[in-house]
Amino acid sequence: MNSKYKMLADHLELKILRGDLPVGSYLPGERTLCQQFGYSRVTVRNGLDLLIVKGLVTPVVGRGYRVLGEEGQAAATTTHIIGGVFPNLDGRLMDHPVLENGSVMVLDGLNDALRNADFNLAFDSSAGSIANEKECIQRLVRRKVDGIAIMPVYSSSEEFISREDDVGNYSYLWEMYNNGLPIVLMNRYLNGIGLPGVYNDDIAGGAMQAKYMLQRGMKSVIYFDDTCDRVSHLRFLGYCRAMREAGLSPCLVTPCNFRQDISWYCPSFDHEEEIRQLMPRISQDTGIICYGYVACALGHLFPDHRCGEHRVEWICYDMSAETLGQGCCPFPYVERPMREIGRRAGEKLLRLIEGDLAAGDVEYLPPQIITPPTTA
């Protein structure tokens, strides 16, 4: 079933093509359309965005939407502007490496792709809000950008609940893309079909963590995390694959009270109670796959990497020396190729703008393991 704003756009497009709304005339105002169709202002604006993308109307400040008709499609020219939408850019604005540093790195990669192309970048921050994200996209559409690269917001971004079925603004993005606006998603996957994207290969990342520990001589590797969201689920699948290839059984341990009052990107020693449940499971040299805050607490509990007579090592995702505020991270971690994701997304977007349909696919880039000098 078509969405309300798609039905509104189809109705107005038919009137334009029939000549009921002639070239040079203006559409009824947003308030009039709301009253006429009984739709909200958001729904009406979404429908008007579709007409802008299709080249049928253009926004005119203070006047409304002027009809271009089929002539507008034929005469459409590129603005040589690429739009970028990110959940948070405080890492750059505040010179703070902890806050959403990944967004900053993706933005830098996007700039790398545009540096040698005749395009400029206009970017905005959604501040982690679904509604703000749509408003950012609408502003860029009204600027007639040639395409948009998006690090999308999850619907559940403010709640620690399952994101397995999260679609965010996918239906709206798909309508824009299906009507001619090149769009590429970056790093954050939204469930749906049809949108191009460039993502970190989380399955490969989970497998890399397990293989690293096995290569270090660990006889057992414990996955100390939950698997309720899509990212951790895929990492766990990669871990299971590597363990089975090595002829070992996977072991999943979910911390008690998991995700309660946790500062995700900062080191913490406040979760010893949850972590101590691992100790009875350490009956041989053991590797632990975990989040960064857990890794810091493990270092606090096992300062000499020993649990009784057994050696214990750990590896996490997305930790960095900057996060720890020191020159070198004291334990290995898997780092997503954030800047490369941005660069590849920019290149894909430029190809889509040039009409290269082969660029409308999905790419998964492998992460890399960063090791401290003592364990390299």
130 close to 107: Cβ distance less than 8 angstroms: no
What are the residue ranges spanned by the domains of the chain?
Answer: 4-75, 81-195+338-366, 202-335
pLDDT higher than 50, residue 301 = yes
Round to whole Å and give the CA distance between 206 and 212. 10
Cβ neighbours of residue 139 closer than 8 Å, sequence gap 6 or more? 124
Per-residue pLDDT, averaged over 194-215, amounts to 96
Per-residue pLDDT, averaged over 54-74, amounts to 78
Mean pLDDT of the chain: 84
Round to whole Å and give the CA distance between 29 and 6. 18
- For the chain, the maximum distance between any two Cα atoms, rounded to a whole number of angstroms, is 84
pLDDT for the residue 148: 97
Least confident of 29-33, 113-117, 123-127, 322-326: 322-326
Tokens representing residue 295 in the block: 């890794």
Backbone torsions φ then ψ of 240, nearest 5 degrees: -60, -40
Q: What one-character DSSP code corresponds to residue 254?
A: P
241 close to 248: Cβ distance less than 8 angstroms: no
Among 82, 96, 207, 195, residue whose Cα is nearest residue 148 = 82
pLDDT higher than 60, residue 277 = yes
pLDDT for the residue 68: 86
pLDDT for the residue 165: 61
pLDDT higher than 60, residue 240 = yes
CATH annotation of 81-195+338-366: 3.40.50.2300
Percent helix, strand and coil across the chain, each to the nearest 5: 40, 15, 40
370 close to 336: Cβ distance less than 8 angstroms: no
Round to whole Å and give the CA distance between 43 and 56. 18
pLDDT for the residue 155: 72
Q: CA 140 → CA 62, 85, 137, 330, 345, distances in Å?
A: 18, 9, 5, 43, 18
Q: What one-character DSSP code corresponds to residue 172?
A: H
Does 202-335 match 81-195+338-366 at the fold level? yes
Question: What angle in degrees, to the nearest 10, is found between the helix axes of 130-142 and 41-53?
Answer: 40
Backbone torsions φ then ψ of 12, nearest 5 degrees: -70, -35
User: In the structure, what pLDDT confidence band is assigned to residue 11 with cuts at 50, 70 and 90?
Assistant: very high
User: Which of the pair, 217 or 304, is modelled with greater confidence?
Assistant: 217
Round to whole Å and give the CA distance between 182 and 140. 12
pLDDT higher than 90, residue 59 = no
Q: What one-character DSSP code corresponds to residue 279?
A: G
pLDDT higher than 90, residue 198 = yes
Least confident of 26-30, 45-49, 86-90, 202-206: 86-90
User: Which of the pair, 190 or 160, is modelled with greater confidence?
Assistant: 190
Round to whole Å and give the CA distance between 199 and 345. 9
Q: What one-character DSSP code corresponds to residue 68?
A: -
Over the Cα atoms of the chain, what is R_g?
24
pLDDT for the residue 262: 45
pLDDT higher than 80, residue 309 = yes
Least confident of 39-53, 108-122, 211-225, 244-258: 244-258
pLDDT higher than 60, residue 376 = no
pLDDT for the residue 194: 85
Full DSSP string of 3-61: -HHHHHHHHHHHHHHHTSS-TT-BPPPHHHHHHHHT--HHHHHHHHHHHHHTTSEEEET
pLDDT for the residue 100: 44
pLDDT higher than 70, residue 145 = yes
Per-residue pLDDT, averaged over 205-212, amounts to 97
pLDDT higher than 80, residue 17 = yes
CATH top class, domain 4-75:
mainly alpha
Q: Rank 92-96, 229-233, 265-269, 316-320 by mean pLDDT and report only the highest.
A: 229-233
Q: What's the start-to-end Cα distance of the chain, in Å? A: 56
pLDDT higher than 90, residue 103 = no
pLDDT for the residue 83: 95
Cβ neighbours of residue 230 closer than 8 Å, sequence gap 6 or more? 163, 164, 166, 189, 191
Round to whole Å and give the CA distance between 304 and 306. 5
Tokens representing residue 310 in the block: 């057994």
pLDDT higher than 60, residue 314 = yes
pLDDT for the residue 60: 87
% of the chain at pLDDT higher than 70: 82
Cβ neighbours of residue 131 closer than 8 Å, sequence gap 6 or more? none
CATH annotation of 202-335: 3.40.50.2300
Least confident of 205-209, 347-351, 371-375: 371-375
